[in-house]
């Protein structure tokens, strides 16, 4: 059913209810001419007259009464469905589908979601940990988080903060194996690496001058799980290149020491993205607003140059 057909049927039923085509037009906030045209289009489509018209009154024909009896319950059901969807758009209840990489969702989105649920306990989060970039529409994601450059076309994206990749180690590792002072010296150290699902080892990304380059490593430890890699680095078994959201608090507390800080890569950023500015349900909009407010350039997940330098200076005291 097209919108024009819906308007024609609505005009017909409102005319019956109010006893006047002009009153039906006013109730729908359309002109009398538009109401008359809508009713004429409906009669033409059905091939029957629905009203007996005089200059002073309108009365249903037999066909008009039959059509009213058949159409009114269906129209009421459709109107109720439309009202229900509009109300849902403003309700702070229902599902909230969030997608993002494993690197981000636990450490960054976890605390954000805790705060959101304290405000809106009737919302039902549905979190999908996914390092790939899937089909956002088919998977019915309300809000996504992605690392890298701005997400695919057709999505609205807000940059939150730069994603620093920091080479670091536990103090116990540095006491046992020493401190690397150049990228070249990493070849003699025990390094961890992330292994993709296709079996490839991901090289570290390092800043050299104004460019970002791959730094191949000969890993002493590989995993496809960032949490397990962090655990192994904290145990003092390996040097790792860790994302700042996982490492920042541990560096500030002294449990990790940043190394080779002049090579910290920060060319990628974290983005929050969604599908439409106008048709976003209220529960989704509030989550997006909270994410932008709490995470944009958040010092919780970004270490300043001064902080990195101060933490790196601890190497001399290990």
Task: Identify whether the C-beta of residue 167 lies closer than 8 Å to the C-beta of residue 260.
Answer: yes
Domains of the chain (ranges, CATH numbers): 3-90 (1.10.10.10), 94-163+268-295 (3.40.190.10), 165-267 (3.40.190.10)
Average confidence (pLDDT) over 177-190: 94
State mean pLDDT over 142-159: 77
**Whole-model pTM?**
0.67
Quick check: 249 pLDDT over 90? Answer: yes
Mean per-residue pLDDT, 130-147: 69
C-alpha distance across the termini of the chain, in Å: 75
pLDDT digits (tens, 9 = 90+) for 47-90: 888 888 766 677 888 888 888 888 777 777 766 766 665 555 55
* Higher local confidence (pLDDT), 48 or 176: 176
Mapping DSSP to helix (H, G, I), strand (E, B) and coil, where does residue 151 land? coil
Given the DSSP bridges, would you call strands 201-202 and 192-195 parallel, antiparallel or unpaired? antiparallel
Instruction: With residue 144 as reference, give the H or E element that holds it.
Output: strand 143-148
């Amino acid at each position: 059913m097209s919108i024009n057909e819906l308007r024609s049927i609505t005009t017909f039923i409102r005319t019956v209810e109010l006893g006047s085509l002009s009153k039906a037009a006013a109730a729908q906030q359309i002109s009398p001419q538009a109401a008359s045209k809508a009713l004429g289009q409906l009669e033409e489509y059905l091939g029957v007259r629905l009203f007996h018209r005089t200059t002073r009154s309108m009365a249903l024909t037999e066909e008009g009464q039959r059509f009213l009896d058949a159409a009114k319950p269906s129209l009421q059901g459709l109107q109720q469905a439309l009202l229900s969807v509009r109300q849902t758009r403003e309700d702070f209840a229902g599902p909230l589908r969030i997608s993002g990489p494993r690197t981000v969702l636990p450490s960054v989105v976890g605390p954000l979601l805790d705060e959101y649920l304290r405000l809106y306990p009737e919302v039902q989060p549905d979190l999908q940990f996914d390092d790939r970039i899937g089909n956002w529409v088919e998977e019915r994601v309300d809000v996504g988080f992605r690392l890298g450059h701005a997400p695919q076309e057709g999505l609205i994206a807000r940059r939150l903060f730069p994603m620093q990749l920091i080479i670091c180690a536990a103090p116990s590792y540095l006491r046992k194996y020493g401190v690397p002072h150049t990228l070249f010296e990493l070849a003699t150290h025990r390094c961890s690496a992330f292994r993709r699902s296709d079996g490839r080892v991901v090289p570290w990304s390092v800043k050299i001058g104004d460019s970002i380059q791959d730094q191949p490593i000969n890993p002493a430890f590989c995993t496809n799980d960032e949490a397990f890699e962090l655990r192994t680095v904290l145990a003092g078994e390996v040097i790792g290149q860790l994302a700042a959201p996982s490492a920042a608090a541990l560096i500030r507390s002294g449990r990790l020491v940043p190394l080779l800080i002049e090579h910290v890569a920060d060319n990628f950023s974290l983005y929050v993205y969604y599908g439409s500015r106008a048709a976003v349900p209220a529960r989704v909009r509030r989550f997006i607003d909270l994410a932008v407010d709490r995470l944009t350039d958040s010092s919780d997940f970004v270490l300043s140059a001064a902080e990195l330098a101060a933490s790196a200076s601890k190497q001399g005291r290990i």
